[in-house]
Structure 1
Amino acid sequence: MNKVPFYGASIVCLDDPNIQEIIPHISRKLITYGFSSQADIRAAEVLVEPRGTSFSCYIDGKLAGKVCLRLHGRHNALNALATIAVARELDIDFTAAAATLAEFAGTDRRMQRIGTAHDVLVIDDYGHHPTEIQAVLSTTRDAWDRRTIVCFQPHRYSRSQLLMEDFGQAFYQADSVFVLPIYAAGEDPIPNVTSDALVTSIVKHGHKEVQTVDDLEQATEALSKIVKPGDLVLTLGAGDVWKVARDLAKRLSDGSIRIGPDSTESPAKASVKGV
């Protein structure tokens, strides 16, 4: 950051412990944002609800106004703060920045609402890193507070191996979890790095309703057997798990799946096939 030109600035999240650690060593202009009371651009009174996220924005300790996003989650409130900081450096006033943010509808595969039928909400998200997964699950809980059923497709053998323990602790806010085979993304398999191993890690860390499914079709079938009105189904992963979300939403919509107030089968129980 000390290589930023004298006329530039570094815009950083003050809530991040790593940023806090390096701040004393930064000699160039620094603009901070976050939920911390010490941030130059701060969000307060954050509200996450089905229609999106809203918060009061303070700049240099003074209330600038309210920001309303169509996006969900506290992490998106932070993203909006960073955008406001950039806009301010470009001499774009707060009102214009907030108005533009309010119009932004997001991107595909980021908390993307695929459909709702029979009061079952189906959402797809690209999240495939434990930190992303935790953020998405926290957001769905804040916004909808529904029973949450997750279909997760791990991405890359190397990532699964490196973050096995972290994945084990990433799904606490999911009520039930189905884990697909690892999406290779061009990698060769690594011995003992499998979806079964991931399920074992998740179970070891205390989750009670998790199991593997063999493929996308089986995932859709498994979800169709346990969903009931009021549920939220979330597909997660950077591969082709999005197909499960779209297939499930279509079947719910066209009546291929008949659901009632009670599921036709018990939710996924903590288990690993073949163990």
Structure 2
Amino acid sequence: SYIIGGVSKNLGSNAHAGQGSAFVIEADEYDRMFLGLNPRIAVVTMMEHDHPDCYPTPQEYRAAFVDFVHTLQPGGLLITNADDVQAASLAAELPAGCRVVTYGMNPDAGLRAIDVKRNSEGGFSFKLLNATNAAFTEVALTVPGEHNVRNALAALAVAQELKLDAAAAAEALGNFKGTGRRFDLRGEADGITIIDDYAHHPTEIRATLAAARSRYVDRRIWAVWQPHTYSRTQMLLSEFTRAFHDADFVIVTAIYAAREQDNGFTAAQVVAGMQPANARYIPALDDVRDTLLAELRPGDVLLVLSAGDADQISAQVLSALRSTEEHHG
């Protein structure tokens, strides 16, 4: 059984009630929701201050994760990312009787990826080392981005704890097609590739753009970003200005308020300090669409980064390009 935050392309759903004893939940720290769980295995992929409307300070944010670690069942297992200092620090907070397994590319990781390299599928391949430095399986991912190597390691650590066959787990990861709105290839038209992504935190944006740059090495990358909530955009202002280095062109829309009231802060203030300097502030989504249709050219890659309603841009641009293609064809 599972409940996850997006629709799995392999399973066709974000939830399923199965027959086995295992229940996989993608937990959410917003509003401290994850503190209602009582896991046998808890995976923390990274820990970086977010949701300032719930956690005004990094200290309060970390304290919630410490509380989460203490929801582990007696004898439970914490799996943390050894490449993320904050996530790895949770090992020191482990309740008595619980265990920890670390994963990553860090030489100290208990489960480690080595020989990480790009493959012909646009993803990364790697060999897996266990704590005794024995290479016991190889994995070839089709989903792009180095962050997905770490996500795969986390899944393999869970599989190992559940005594699942390592080769079967590696094969399943190789067949993983990804999740809706996570580097979601919407289509291609007129030589232009359009991708939709849910990224709305600076680290997510950097990882998504790095994945695009690794897959589309010599192509022009356009990033359209719809900031999500005034509090997050304002609090992480300087991080956002530095998150777009792998894009050739950046368009920033008006902030998507979600649950918040307008506080007068606008995304124009992010654009003013943004690197690269060819970023533009175009508040209205219709104007963004029209700008893209006027300026995109064959070979370009368009990434729409939004946890709000800007994913409509990818659908509209794709539709317009396809009708132009048919007209010319």
User: Equivalent residue for 2:301?
Assistant: 232
Q: Is the 8 A contact 1:48 1:139 kept in 2?
A: no
* Structure 2 SS opposite 1:116: strand
TM-score by length of 1: 0.86
Deviates more, 1:44-53 or 1:85-94: 44-53
Aligned equivalents of 1:258 and 1:172: distance in 2? 36
- CA-to-partner distance for each residue in 1:114-148, whole Å, 9 max, x for gaps? 11122211111000111100111111111111211
1:56 to 115, 127, 131: 127
Aligned equivalents of 1:183 and 1:93: distance in 2? 44
| 2:200 is the alignment partner of 1:164 | no
User: Equivalent residue for 1:75?
Assistant: 147
| 2:115 is the alignment partner of 1:42 | no
Aligned equivalents of 2:147 and 2:193: distance in 1? 21
Q: Is the 8 A contact 1:150 1:235 kept in 2?
A: yes
User: Equivalent residue for 1:136?
Assistant: 208
* Structure 1 SS opposite 2:155: helix
Aligned equivalents of 2:261 and 2:145: distance in 1? 35
Aligned equivalents of 1:126 and 1:22: distance in 2? 27
* Cα separation, partners in 2 of 1:229 and 1:199, compared to 1, 3 Å: same
Letter in 2 for 1:78: R
Q: CA deviation at 1:54?
A: 1.9
Runs (4+) of structure 1 moved beyond 3 Å? Answer: 1-6, 19-28, 48-51, 256-259
* Structure 1 SS opposite 2:112: strand
* Structure 2 SS opposite 1:186: coil
* Structure 2 SS opposite 1:219: helix
User: Equivalent residue for 1:188?
Assistant: 261
Q: CA deviation at 1:38?
A: 1.9
Q: Percent identity?
A: 35
Letter in 1 for 2:186: I
* Cα separation, partners in 2 of 1:116 and 1:24, compared to 1, 3 Å: same
User: Equivalent residue for 1:218?
Assistant: 287
TM-score by length of 2: 0.72
Q: Which has the higher contact order (CA 8 A, sep 6+)?
A: 1
User: Equivalent residue for 1:147?
Assistant: 220
Paired residues in the alignment total: 255
- CA-to-partner distance for each residue in 1:24-62, whole Å, 9 max, x for gaps? 554632111000122111112223455323211112211
Aligned equivalents of 1:119 and 1:64: distance in 2? 41
Where structure 1 has 5 or more consecutive residues not aligned to the other structure, the ranges are 260-275
Q: Is the 8 A contact 1:251 1:257 kept in 2?
A: no
What RMSD in Å do the two structures reach over aligned CA positions? 2.1
Aligned equivalents of 2:86 and 2:74: distance in 1? 23
